[in-house]
Amino acid sequence: MEVIEAVGELRSRIKEFKRQGKTIGFVPTMGFLHEGHISLMKKAREETDIVIVSIFVNPTQFGPNEDFESYPKDMVRDQRLTESVGVDFLFTPTVTEMYPDGYSTFVEVAGDLTRQLCGRTRPGHFRGVTTIVAKLFHMTTPDYAYFGKKDAQQVVVIEKMVRDLNMDIVIVPCSIVREEDGLAMSSRNSYLTEADRKKAQVLSQSLFETKAKIASGERDITTIKQFIVSRIKQIEGALIDYVEIVHSKTLENMNQIKGNILIALAVKFGKTRLIDNIDMVV
Ligand code: PAF
C-alpha cells in the first residue's frame, strides 16, 4: 500500500492504472476506522482493480460549535487496517492541500434534500460534504465509490450531486455495520461514556421494534413516530434531534407506510450526537 499526501502524486499514479483499463474503487473516510469502513473497503477490494481510501477530516462540513478539533484520530492504526484489507492507495491530504489559501469554490445540492433531517440542525454540513466529495472524486476519478447507509441522507445527497453534475461514477450504498448490541458503528461512538454507550442501545432497539411492528401490520405514521419518540424519551438524558419517516430514495415526507421507507433518527447523549436508521420496502 502506498500512502500519498500530495494530489499531484496521486493523480499521476492513478493515470497509469487508468491507461491500463483498470477500474478504480474509492472509499472516502474521515479516519478512526471501524468495521463499517472496513466493510466498504472489502467490497471495493472485491469489485474493483485498484482501491483508494482517503482519510481527511474535512473542516467545511463541521459547524462552528461541532467537534472538528476533537474528532478522533489514529493514523497508525488506520494505516495498519487499510493495509490489512489490501487497499492500494491511502490518500491522506493536509487541510492546505485540499483548501489552499484563497480557496472559494463550493458544491451545493440545494433545496429540501439538504435542509431537512440532519440539515436542520447542521446548516452547511452537506455543502461541506458535497464540496469535499466532489473534490475527492476529481482527484481519484473512481468508477465506483462506496458509502455507508448509516449516513442515509449523505448517500441520497451524493447520488443527487453525481446525477446533477453528470459524474460518471457509480455510488454503492453499503449496509450499516452494528456492534453486537445493535449500536451502529461510528467513529463518534468513542466519545460516549460507558453509561451513555449503554443508553444509546435504545436507538437500534427502537428501530428494530418498529420494523417488527410494521412487519406485523402497523401502518399509522403518527403511531409509529410516537412509539419511537416515547421509547427514546424513557432513557434519561437522551435528547431527540429528530425522528422522521421519509421516502428512502427522495427523502420526501410520507403520509403512509408504503413503498420505500426510511425511518431515520438523530439523538444526543451528552455532547455526542448519534444517527441511525432502517430502510424497508413495505
Ligand atoms: O462520511 C464521512 O465520513 C464523510 O462525510 C465523508 C464522506 C468522508 C466526507 O468528508
Q: Select from 29, 71, 95, 122 the residue to mutate for testing ligand 1; criterion: most ligand atoms less than 8 Å from CB.
A: 29
Q: If you average pLDDT over residues 147-156, what whole number do you get?
A: 98
Q: How close is the Cα of 215 to the center of ligand 1, in Å? A: 32
Q: Residue 230: which CATH number?
A: 3.30.1300.10
CATH of residue 76's domain is: 3.40.50.620
Q: Please check whether residues 54 and 154 belong to one and the same domain.
A: yes
pLDDT at position 28 is 99
Q: Average of pLDDT values for 73-83?
A: 98
Which of 26, 57, 78, 129 has most ligand 1 atoms within 8 Å of its beta carbon, as the pocket-test mutant? 129
CB 5 within 8 A of CB 95: no
pLDDT, position 173 = 98
User: Based on the domain organization, do 218 and 159 belong to the same domain?
Assistant: no
Per-position DSSP letters for the chain, written without gaps between them: -EEE--HHHHHHHHHHHHHTT--EEEEEE-SS--HHHHHHHHHHHHH-SEEEEEE---GGGS-TTSSTTT----HHHHHHHHHHHT-SEEE---HHHHS-TT--------SHHHHSTHHHHSTTHHHHHHHHHHHHHHHH--SEEEEEGGGHHHHHHHHHHHHHTT---EEEEEPPPB-TTSPBP-GGGGG--HHHHHHTHHHHHHHHHHHHHHHTT---HHHHHHHHHHHHHTSTTEEEEEEEEEETTT--B-SSS-SEEEEEEEEEETTEEEEEEEEEE-
Ligand 1: which atom is nearest the Cα of residue 136?
9
Ligand 1: nearest atom to the Cα of 158: 7
pLDDT above 90 as % of the chain? 99
| Ligand 1 atom 2, closest CA | 29
- Ligand 1 centroid–CA 195 distance in Å is 27
Residue 245 belongs to domain spanning: 187-277
Task: Assess if residue 182 is contained within a domain.
Answer: no
Q: Per the domain annotation, does 198 fall within a domain?
A: yes
Atom of ligand 1 nearest to the CA of 58: 10
Contact between 31 and 73 (Cβ < 8 Å): yes
Residue 162: pLDDT above 90?
yes
Q: Please indicate, yes or no, if residue 256 is contained in any of the structural domains.
A: yes
Residue 134 has pLDDT above 90, yes or no: yes
Query: What confidence category does residue 255 fall into, taking pLDDT thresholds of 50, 70 and 90?
Result: confident
Residue 202 Cα to ligand 1 middle (Å): 25
Among 34, 52, 132, say which to mutate for ligand 1: greatest number of ligand atoms within 8 Å of CB: 132
Average pLDDT over residues 20-26: 98
Q: Ligand 1 — pocket residues by CB below 6 A? A: 28-30, 58, 61, 129, 132-133, 151, 154
pLDDT tier at 184, thresholds 50, 70, 90: very high
> Which positions are catalytic?
37
Residue 263 is predicted with a pLDDT of 98
Number of structural domains (the chain) is 2
Where a domain ends, among 174, 199, 224? 174
Q: Are residues 166 and 194 in the same domain?
A: no
Given 139, 174, 209, which residue is the final one in a domain? 174
| pLDDT tens digits for range 197-230 | 999 999 999 999 999 999 999 999 999 999 999 9
Examine the domain organization and report whether 201 and 169 are in the same domain. no
- The yes-or-no verdict on residue 239 having pLDDT over 90 is yes
Q: Is residue 74 part of a domain?
A: yes
Supply the residue whose CA is at minimum distance from atom 9 of ligand 1.
Answer: 129
Q: What percent of the chain has pLDDT over 70?
A: 100
pLDDT of residue 148: 98
CA of 147 to the centre of ligand 1 (A): 8
| pLDDT value at residue 259 | 96
Mean pLDDT calculated for residue range 178-187: 97
Question: Which three three-digit cell numbers place residue 188?
Answer: 463518534
